[in-house]
Chain A
């Protein structure tokens, strides 16, 4: 149970961290100043959420180290376990983020569409997690869902605007759907730790599909027919992108180990 709980927290933490990292690439490069601010704001929210999950995971791992004594606690070898050691000193195969969030940003349409897919998912998930028996997890979800509500509104409005804007923007969105759709299946495919934590992803999937369909209808965009779905991220099998993300993300901590910043 202990491992499933920390694995699940790390999955949530890694996913929000990597999406924050990706979105923050737009900072200073957005299509219009107001939206540059908005996407950076979302990056900041996601980073804050990831810190909450990492801190909680770090606390659980530290406690279990103390209790287990001779037994091997999870993530042995990290030294003192903190939010930073979990984010900066784990490797490609240990990261459990969704593949969707590690993909390259692409153009603004692709970034928006990914945010919409993710925020719609996260919103429904956090609704569930707010009811969790794990009081700390429930509290984090309750706080974060306020931010997610805004992310969802913002991203769905942009999907409509770009889908039903000009012919050119419509084409951009069709391309974005083509790039991203196959990574949406993983959202609902339960990893072992999700099942153990009692997360009902089937319920999330049903509402997610309805909501996405409604927004796509308004955006005059087609919902793809069932197609192949790429799994992997939740189990630590990633795209080739993740290694590069971690190379940048972890550069300082790897180059100057054991330093305070």
Chain B
């Protein structure tokens, strides 16, 4: 079949809502876009462990410590499923990690912001995980099968994290004056970066059109962002806190909340590496990888030794070690 027919069949499957599987023919650009997106998602989970991991040693109660540790561990697990999903497209985990460390691959900019107080753990759970979930719920129906299936699993855990984050803010919101102030401050700092998580405006987004056609994405950045704002405005009332945007206002005509302009200058600065923690996050990942090199080499060497029959071991003439040699 000429390539054009393959492409038609491919698009037909997408239109019929048939999932694309690893061995199916797919356009190069579809493969590349998925590798880029899934690996970027995996890297975000892994780098995302750092800002929250920052508070494990200082969690204010044993229960909160256990919840936080379990949450960060879940993120490592998500990273693992996602690296596996990306590997089905033909790129090794090692290569993806190298691309992260060289700066070639990106991860979500939100993790380049610092976690300054305990309330940031709650704010991340509520706002950051809340924003991530909207994107991830959509991705449960993405056209690439392994990615969609990984997302189904991840979404279950993420929505649990979001509830835990909100609940931890709720406790602060009912606490002492210092706790309330800590809660409001965290919301103020995480609100705008959370809105930025949905990416550039639709009018500026370079990858959107093709991704919609291939059903890698099913909603645009602006649609998801609006959905998030509408949700958060209602939830913040339960906390008795406010969102730091004087332009937030119900628009009856649109049936949505209007909100203020995002500081796109800040957005692009952080994407380009000038966020408050870009350097530290990458440095931490590189350090872990470099310091783990001897461990990975030893594990490989040991596994290799175990594969080879020991020179003194009994050799079964009918097979086993001899037959293999």
Chain A residues with a Cβ under 8 A of chain B: 17, 21, 24-25, 27-37, 40-41, 43-44, 47-48, 50-51, 54, 83-84, 87-88, 107-109, 160-162, 164-166, 168-169, 172, 248-249, 251-253, 256, 258-261
B76 interfacial contact with A, CB 8 Å: yes
| CB <8 Å contact, A37 and B294 | no
| CB <8 Å contact, B284 and A27 | no
With A24-B69, A47-B69, A164-B302 as known contacts, state yes or no: A261 contacts B79, CB within 8 Å: no
| CB <8 Å contact, B60 and A40 | no
Q: How far is the CA of A249 from the CA of B56 in the complex (A)?
A: 9
Contact partners of B62 in chain A: CB under 8 A: 17, 47, 50-51, 54, 83-84, 87
Chain B residues with a Cβ under 8 A of chain A: 46, 49-50, 53, 56-66, 69-70, 72-73, 76-77, 79-80, 83, 118, 168, 171-172, 175-176, 178-179, 284, 287-289, 291-299, 301-302, 305
Our pick among B171, B176, B178, B305 for the contact of A164 (Cβ within 8 Å) is: B305
| CB <8 Å contact, B70 and A160 | no
With A29-B284, A47-B69, A256-B179 as known contacts, state yes or no: A40 contacts B76, CB within 8 Å: yes
With CB as the reference atom, state the residue of chain A lying closest to B97. Answer: A33
| CB <8 Å contact, B53 and A27 | yes
Our pick among A27, A44, A88 for the contact of B49 (Cβ within 8 Å) is: A27
Instruction: Please give me the 4 A-B residue pairs with the lowest Cβ-Cβ distance, nearest first.
Output: A31-B292, A165-B298, A169-B298, A252-B60
| CB <8 Å contact, A108 and B57 | no
With CB as the reference atom, state the residue of chain A lying closest to B72. Answer: A27
Q: How far is the CA of A261 from the CA of B73 in the complex (A)?
A: 21
With CB as the reference atom, state the residue of chain B lying closest to A164. Answer: B302
| CB <8 Å contact, A30 and B298 | no
Contact partners of A169 in chain B: CB under 8 A: 294-295, 297-298, 301
With CB as the reference atom, state the residue of chain A lying closest to B297. Answer: A166
With CB as the reference atom, state the residue of chain A lying closest to B50. Answer: A28
Our pick among B46, B60, B171, B301 for the contact of A253 (Cβ within 8 Å) is: B60
Contact partners of A34 in chain B: CB under 8 A: 80
| CB <8 Å contact, B295 and A33 | no
| CB <8 Å contact, B292 and A32 | yes
